[in-house]
Structure 1
Amino acid sequence: MERVKRLFPVVVFVSVATASLAMAGYAYVAATDAARIKFESTADDAVNRIETRLELHLSMLRATLALFKTGNGMVSRDALRSFVAALDIKDRYAGIRGLGYARLLRKGGEKAAEDDLARNYGGEIRVWPPEGGSQRTPITLLEPLDESNRGALGYDMMSEPTRRAAMMRAMEMGEPRATGLVPLVRDAGSMSQPGFLIYLPLVLGASDDAPVAQRMAATAGFVYAPFRAADLFGAALSRAPLLPLAIEVYDGEPKPETLIFRSQTPPDRSMGRFGTSRQVQVAGRTWLLRFEPTSNFAWPASRMAAIALGLFGLALATALAYVVRSGEKAYEAVRALNEAGEKALQEKDLLLQEMKHRIKNSLARVLAIARQTASGAKTVEDFSASFSARLQAMSASQDMLTRSRWQKADLRELLLTEVEQVLGNGMDADRLTGPQVEIDEATTQALGLTFHELATNALKYGAAGTGKGTVAVTWSLTRGGLRLFWRERGGGKVEPPERKGFGTRLIDANIVRELGGSVERRYPEDGIDIEIFIPLKR
């Protein structure tokens, strides 16, 4: 139960923090999903703009084809120029460089194309390059006639493989076909400005559902339009509102050599791995459009709100855990205070009971000593002296126990104190030998009186009384308890007593009856030996 209480603040913190972080994570994921949906929608908007712009150009190209079909392929420069001027392609169809017509000739028929060029534009314009294949498609009409377009007049587009492939597919399918990325003609003999072209075959004398060979044989030429890629995509994407997208357009696989267009604004990849791709069909070719967000892309919901929610949740979890822990500490402090109060009361009662017990024992011991002393005293003075000495022995033992809070007393200190009370300070400490032994309360009081009686007897009847003898005490700890040896030498022959006096009975009472030990007395030629054994509790 205590362990559960200690872990409760941790459980509170983990639970609240987990819930908060889960909510923050959900909010972050929701914000990211919302941003991704917005980004995908923006990319779809860009694709729609590009497709709309391309479809507008294709519609204009079909209208131009209709013009040529109406004139049975015989459209003058003035008619085309008026048609182009009415369309206002410079302002309304940005990206397209013009509308033109390339006459389909067999090799050797270049003179007819050069006559058309002379009739429409004057001067001498040759078909170029001079070399070519079995079929040639020199440009005979191109409007508006600016400096760059003028340089393209007479150019045989069949001489260039990419253009030739697109025109052949257009003849086969009878539909508009675009080239891959090619350099546009800048002037006679030179190329510049990367872009692409779209061709529509002019079929005269054959229906649209005629066999391929019949339609190809009836193809008189191609209506076409050159496109500058940067201008086309710039016009498609510059319409308000501006899209916060970085765009790359590839003709097929995303390779450096197939790159048609790349927007000038770089992507902002710090927003995460936002990116998407779309495929667009442009006159028989597949364009790959890749989109990434720019720094202007605005999240519909701030990610900082999710982060702030997570931080707030952690702070709340910490605060709740602290409050719970503080409450537990306060409760524990009150409980500890109550327990301390109860313990103090119990100790007070125990102390009172102990004092009563000790006082009763001490009074009983004093009364017993008084009765025994009185029975052996001949005069009041003898009683007073003996009784006072024995009370002082008890008092010395009581002092030692008091200093140790009634726990333990040192055997050497007790022995030295009791012996010096009787024999004076002349007792040599070297004659007290043995290990350090601590004895309990009962043993202390019993040995205190025992040492007092032994020292008194030595002074009255033994070695200490003659001034020549010696008293030595040794002790040791054995397996069963404490063994002491009291030896007196040099005081003459000591005879065994005919009867036990009070001192002897007091010693036996203390050692044998109270402590459960034994006392053995031996009488050699020049003294007395007393061996005392006391069982000790380990």
Structure 2
Amino acid sequence: MKKLFPIVAFIAVALISLTMAGFAYFATQEAARIKFEGTADDALSRIESRIDLHLSLLRSTQALFDARNGDITRGEFKAFFTALNIDDNFAGLRGIGFLRLAKAGDEAAVERDILHDHGSAHPIYPQTTEPWRTPIVLFEPLDTSNQSIIGFDMFSEPVRRAAIEKAMADDQQHASGLVQLGQGAGVTQTFTGFLVFVRLNVETAPDVINASRSSTAGFLYAAFRAGDLFQVALSHSPLLPVNVEVYDGKPEAGNLLFRSEAPPAERIGAKLLARRDIVVAGRPWTLLFRPTSAFEPPSSRAIPVMLGMFGLLLAGAIALVARYQERAYDAKSALHEATEKSLLEKDLILQEMKHRIKNSITRVLAIARQTASQATDVKEFSASFSARLQAMAASQDMLTRSRWQKADLGDLLRIELGQVFGKDLPEGVLSGPEVLLDETTTQALGLTFHELATNALKYGEAGNSVGALKVDWSVDGPGHERTLLLNWREAGQKKLEAPAKTGFGTKLIDLNVTRELRGTIARDYSDDGLKVEIKIPLAG
């Protein structure tokens, strides 16, 4: 527990400091959110006030028509509209107009009234299959650029028709969905906006729609350019650091009425998002507010970071002080443990060396006895025994370089074949994946490859060209059940036959593979040479 005290102290002080920093961070986040919510409400208030101002103008126009029982000439309507000075007082208002309500088939009467009021013919368009016609008969401001809107039947267009049908049912104002204003013959520029309709009831109108107090002669409407309307509403001083998106209904791309030019701040725009749902003339809108780069949180975010850093530094200082107190004790304990470990490792190394030397001497003696029993004279014994000792030495050398851990099968083959055929082996003689062998497998396969190479040099075509020799290998099976499959092929022109007598080299190969490595070996003497297949299990 004494050794853990520095860590415990560090963790405790760090947790307290980070907790305080976390509370400070969330406090700054909440303060920024509250401030932005207030900014968003301010922007919403400006937008709603501007819309209410414009809709009040439509109500004033309705009052004018009601006072005259709908009997307003074009000149009177133009004079009324000019007096409003909408460019200065009602920015964003495209204009105000009047739609005459008529049954389909009664277009001629309406066209005569238009000809009388405007002094020029304006046929009602477009063709429609709807039962009602609501052509524009009055509109201001009307100039040469928009004369073609007179006679346009709004009931023929689905978005406008949906709002008009709602206006038929009551005396309330009803907004349309998103429309493109300025459409018509010869019009080159259109504006995204919306319309607001209200029905006009007159006592002398034909009984075309049931109403509570009179009959409906038509509809007054106001057309709004969304971009200008919202831009003017938000441009009052002081400018608000918000990016505003206004949607007709759900916030989807096809419903976008307006988007501020100032982009939202990338750093905090995704975190601070205020949504407001309002109803404009009976139609739901969604407004999304995001802060721009001009938005300043009420408190700096650097404060939680500095608090957290100070706490970590304090925790580190306390931990270091505690650690210095334990350093002497730790040094003494480490020295004692190192001494004991060194003694233990030396003892293990000595035991391992005794075991390996004993195994090597036993193997050398066995090879010496077997070689001597097969040799005809001292010279032959010396050559065979020396070659086998070199094969053992090569395997030992590979294991020594890897600190007696693992030896690569490909490297082992190159060393053993290099001792027999020379160091420079042609390309394509050896092929296979990397396979790491343990000590026992390395020593046994080293001798096996040496004997196979020696026999190939003496009796096979490889004695003439090492290119006649091909060795490939693969590994099959998962995990601890892996099996090494090695194919030794000696190509030749002469037919090979199995030897009548088994020599020591062949016995050594079989003993190494079947007994020491618990594998199998199969030889195939065919017309085109010798094929040897070796299968041995690999240690996990």
TM tier, smaller? 0.5 to 0.7
Q: State the alpha-carbon separation in 2 of the partners of residues 256 and 302 from structure 1.
A: 35
Match of 1:192 among 168, 190, 193: 190
Aligned to 1:42: 39
Distance in 2, Cα, partners of 1:220 & 1:147: 27
Measured in 2, the distance between the counterparts of 1:77 and 1:276 equals 46
Query: CA 1:138/1:205 → structure 2, altered by over 3 Å: closer, same or farther?
Result: same
What whole-Å deviation, never above 9, does each CA across 1:236-292 have from its counterpart, x for those lacking one?
Answer: 222222222222222222322222222223322422522232111011111111222
Residue 242 in structure 1 maps to residue 262 in structure 2: no
The one of 297, 304, 307 aligned to 2:295: 297
Q: Which residue is 1:441 aligned to?
A: none
Q: 2:460: which partner in 1?
A: none
The separation in 1 between residues aligned to 2:159 and 2:285, in whole angstroms, is 16
Identity, % of aligned positions = 48
CA contact (8 A) 2:203 2:214 kept: no
Partner of 1:225: 222
Give CA-to-partner distance per residue, 1:279-336, whole Å, 9 cap, x none: 1101111111122222222111111111111111111222233344446669x89xx9
2:251 corresponds to 1:274:
no
Pairwise CA distance, 1:79: 2.1
Give the distance between the partners of 1:212 and 1:186, measured in 2 at CA. 29
Matched AA of 2:246: V
Matched, 1:89 2:86: yes
Work out whether 1:106 is the aligned partner of 2:103. yes
Q: Which amino acid aligns with 1:136?
A: R
CA contact (8 A) 1:148 1:185 kept: no
Q: Find the aligned partners of 1:175 and 1:166 in 2 and give their Cα distance.
A: 11
Q: What secondary structure is seen at the aligned counterpart in 1 of 2:210?
A: helix
Give the equivalent residue in structure 1 for 2:55: 58
Which residue in the other structure is 2:466 paired with?
Answer: none
Structure-to-structure mapping, 1:69-80, within 5 angstroms: 69-80=66-77
The Cα shift of 1:219 comes to 0.5
**C-alpha spacing 1:204/1:322, structure 2 compared with 1 (3 Å):** same
Match of 2:253 in 1: 256
Q: One-letter code of the match for 1:193?
A: F
Q: Per-residue CA shift, 1:454-490, capped at 9, x if unaligned?
A: xxxxxxxxxxxxxxxxxxxxxxxxxxxxxxxxxxxxx
**Counterpart contact for 1:167–1:199, Cα < 8 Å:** yes
Give SS of 2:139's match: strand
Describe the superposition over 1:142-175 as per-residue Cα deviations: whole angstroms up to 9, x where unpaired.
1122444423112111121221221111110221
SS of 2:221's equivalent in the other structure is strand
How much does 1:37 deviate? 1.1
Contact 2:125-2:151 within 8 A present in 1 as well = yes
Q: 2:319 corresponds to which residue?
A: 321
Query: Is the contact between residue 171 and residue 215 of structure 1 (CA under 8 Å) also seen in structure 2?
Result: no
On the 8 A contact 1:148/1:186 being kept in 2, the answer is no
Tell me, in whole angstroms, the C-alpha distance in 2 between the residues paired with 1:123 and 1:241. 49
| Displacement of 1:136 | 1.3
Counterpart selection for 2:17 from 20, 31, 42: 20
In the TM superposition, residue 216 of structure 1 has moved relative to its aligned partner by 9.4
TM-score, structure 1 normalization: 0.56
Question: Which residue does 1:157 correspond to in 2?
Answer: 154
Residue 163 to residue 217, structure 1, CA distance change in 2 (3 Å)? farther
Equivalent in 285, 288, 295 of residue 286 of structure 2: 288
Shift of 1:133: 3.1
Per-residue Cα deviation, 1:191-211 (whole angstroms, up to 9, x for no partner): 8322211001001239xxxx9
Superposed CA RMSD: 2.8
Aligned equivalents of 2:211, 2:243: Cα separation in 1: 46
Return the letter of the residue paired with 1:157. Answer: M
Question: Does the 8 A contact of 1:114 with 1:127 survive in 2?
Answer: yes
Structure 1 unpaired stretches of 5+: 337-538
Q: Which residue of 1 aligns with 2:119?
A: 122
CA gap of 1:164–1:316, structure 2 versus 1, over 3 A, is same
Query: Given the alignment, which residue of 31, 40, 62 partners 2:28?
Result: 31
Distance 2:252 2:86 in 1: 32
In 1: Cα distance, 2:327 partner to 2:54 partner: 81
Q: Alpha carbons of 1:219 and 1:189: their partners in 2 closer, same or farther (altered >3 Å)?
A: farther
**Deviation for aligned residue 1:23:** 1.1
For the structure 1 residues 225 and 263, does the alpha-carbon distance in structure 2 shift closer, same or farther, using more than 3 Å as the test? Answer: same
**1:411 match:** none
Q: Does 1:174 align with 2:148?
A: no
- The secondary structure found in structure 1 opposite 2:93 is coil
Aligned residue in 1 for 2:343: none
Q: Deviations over 1:418-467 (max 9, x none)?
A: xxxxxxxxxxxxxxxxxxxxxxxxxxxxxxxxxxxxxxxxxxxxxxxxxx
Query: In structure 2, what is the Cα distance between the partners aligned to 1:212 and 1:54?
Result: 29
SS at match of 1:250: strand
Matching residue of 1:306: 304
Cα distance between partner residues in 2 of 1:320 and 1:212: 87
Q: Is contact 2:203–2:215 with CA below 8 Å preserved after alignment?
A: yes
| 2:92 and 2:229 in contact (8 A); partners too | yes
Q: Which amino acid aligns with 1:62?
A: R
Deviation at 1:69, TM superposition (A): 0.6
Bigger CA radius of gyration: 1
8 Å contact from structure 1 (residues 150, 187) kept in 2: no
| Structure 2 SS opposite 1:97 | strand
What are the equivalent positions in structure 2 for 1:444-455 lying under 5 Å apart?
A: none
How far off its partner does 1:134 sit?
2.8
Alignment counterpart, residue 132 of structure 2, candidates 132, 135, 144: 135
CA contact (8 A) 2:265 2:292 kept: yes
Aligned to 2:200: 202
Per-residue Cα deviation, 1:386-435 (whole angstroms, up to 9, x for no partner): xxxxxxxxxxxxxxxxxxxxxxxxxxxxxxxxxxxxxxxxxxxxxxxxxx
Aligned twin of 1:469: none
Q: Distance in 2 between matches of 1:274 and 1:125?
A: 52
With 24-33 and 14-23 compared, the bigger mean Cα shift is at 14-23
Which region of structure 1 is more displaced relative to structure 2, 220-229 or 107-116? 107-116
Distance 1:145 1:296 in 2: 41
Give the letter aligned to residue 140 of structure 1: V
Q: Which runs of no fewer than 5 residues in structure 2 stay unpaired?
A: 333-540
| Aligned-pair CA distance for 1:56 | 1.1
SS in 2 for 1:81: helix
Q: Secondary structure at the match of 1:213?
A: coil
> Counterparts of 1:133 and 1:328 in 2: how far apart (Å)?
94
Contact 1:148 1:187 in 2 (8 A): no
Distance 1:120 1:320 in 2: 93
Structure 1: how far apart are the matches of 2:152 and 2:145?
Answer: 12
What's the TM-score, normalizing by structure 2?
0.56
How far apart are the structure 1 equivalents of 2:64 and 2:197? 15
